[in-house]
Structure 1
């Protein structure tokens, strides 16, 4: 066993490579040694991403930034000799939790509207409807398939049929807080319980707007680095 090991080690120093016809052969099996790559730092804001790049902490090689989605941005180098990239830093947005296409009871829905959506006119109208609906009258609902009417408080001691706004234009927190939250249309529905739900109605077009907002933010924050061609941004 020891003799075979010694012969193997000695043989390593006598490796030859020969070309026979159109084929290349070696007297020993060769193993590829991969060039090492970096593990990306993770941050949760665009400002943290910008601060890292401006610090040139890990050098000043030319980099590309990729806006992958409304919640993800990564920064990487060009190919190394193995056609792999060094990913230096990535940003993942931290967002409040709201599930579309899910029914919430009126109290939870009221809280979610105030904590997960940017204040605008339609949000305020919905808050008034949801906050004043009469529980004993939730089954008295008019519905023509598009709009609804529910019995809700309209004064200190009065109730009346109130039209439920539909569709509504809202701006949920769905991307990094440093950029404008895109507005889009939602279908707002209510049912007995009382419970409420929002259904997306823009086909996901808001994602393109959010990604462009991120790209514009990065262009403005890294204008000097972009002009000197140290950084390229794609979305």
Structure 2
């Protein structure tokens, strides 16, 4: 069929076909006129994707949709490929997550605020808040460090001061994926410097991303159960 199309084009102009070593060559360059594809709608949550797919708003020749979980912060809805081997992308969801820079040193006040605003409450987060919130600024030079654990001078009571062990490693749940799903828990190295300054360093090798993508898939499977059973939707992660 491709060869017939080329021969048709050849008949319209000065283009010639040449056969060299059993392969067909054209004497002029030809450009494919691609089939039009829609520009994807953009949303910021998973519920937007669920509402869109349940509504059946966009009807075309493709009876099914594929949901691809690209990353913990991106999900794309598309069709099968068309005659040009390109897919129609109907919708893209990009998660809105609060900003926290790992591997960066924060002063104690900003670190305290970030812990409360960008992490899910759990036991280790509360312990860190206690240490950071009670550290004595005038005594930060008396920091003990054996390379793994640290101690700092901090308030240990209403009017008492003593050495406090800095928890390390810590298990935390930062907001790193869509808010509709459970935030993945992972280990971090918590370090402190004179200033006082604090920082968190990831210690799970990125395994949290696999967990986050699984959580997204589990959420979509539950919300789109009927559509999946009717073979209208396929989810890949």
- Could you tell me the TM-score, scaled by structure 2's length? 0.88
Displacement of 1:32 after TM fit? Answer: 2.8
> Structure 1, residues 89-109: CA drift from partner, whole Å, max 9, x if none?
010000000000000000000
Alpha carbons of structure 1 residues 85 and 137: separation in structure 2 relative to 1, 3 Å = same
The residue aligned with 1:204 is 206
Q: Distance in 2 between matches of 1:29 and 1:129?
A: 70
Alpha carbons of structure 1 residues 38 and 158: separation in structure 2 relative to 1, 3 Å = same
Note if contact 1:15-1:27 (Cα within 8 Å) is conserved in structure 2: no
Note if contact 1:15-1:26 (Cα within 8 Å) is conserved in structure 2: no
Displacement of 1:83 after TM fit? Answer: 0.7
The residue aligned with 2:191 is 189
Alpha carbons of structure 1 residues 86 and 155: separation in structure 2 relative to 1, 3 Å = same
Contiguous gaps of at least 5 residues in structure 2: 1-8
Alpha carbons of structure 1 residues 131 and 29: separation in structure 2 relative to 1, 3 Å = closer
Q: Distance in 1 between matches of 2:184 and 2:28?
A: 61
Note if contact 1:15-1:28 (Cα within 8 Å) is conserved in structure 2: no
Q: Distance in 1 between matches of 2:236 and 2:79?
A: 13
Alpha carbons of structure 1 residues 20 and 149: separation in structure 2 relative to 1, 3 Å = closer
Q: Distance in 2 between matches of 1:118 and 1:30?
A: 57
Aligned partner (choices 117, 121, 124) of residue 123 of structure 2: 121
Q: Distance in 1 between matches of 2:25 and 2:159?
A: 94
> Structure 1, residues 205-225: CA drift from partner, whole Å, max 9, x if none?
111000000000000000111
Displacement of 1:19 after TM fit? Answer: 7.5
Aligned partner (choices 9, 12, 15) of residue 15 of structure 1: 12
The residue aligned with 1:69 is 71
Alpha carbons of structure 1 residues 28 and 211: separation in structure 2 relative to 1, 3 Å = closer
* Aligned length in residues: 224
Note if contact 1:143-1:149 (Cα within 8 Å) is conserved in structure 2: yes
Note if contact 1:65-1:76 (Cα within 8 Å) is conserved in structure 2: yes
> Structure 1, residues 155-174: CA drift from partner, whole Å, max 9, x if none?
22110100100000000000
Structure exhibiting the larger radius of gyration computed from Cα positions: 1
Alpha carbons of structure 1 residues 151 and 36: separation in structure 2 relative to 1, 3 Å = same
- Could you tell me the TM-score, scaled by structure 1's length? 0.89
Q: Which runs of 4+ in 1 moved over 3 A?
A: 16-31
Secondary structure of the structure 2 residue equivalent to 1:77: strand
> Structure 1, residues 164-194: CA drift from partner, whole Å, max 9, x if none?
0000000000000000001100000001000
The residue aligned with 1:39 is 39
Displacement of 1:15 after TM fit? Answer: 2.5
Aligned partner (choices 141, 144, 151) of residue 143 of structure 2: 141
Note if contact 1:18-1:24 (Cα within 8 Å) is conserved in structure 2: no
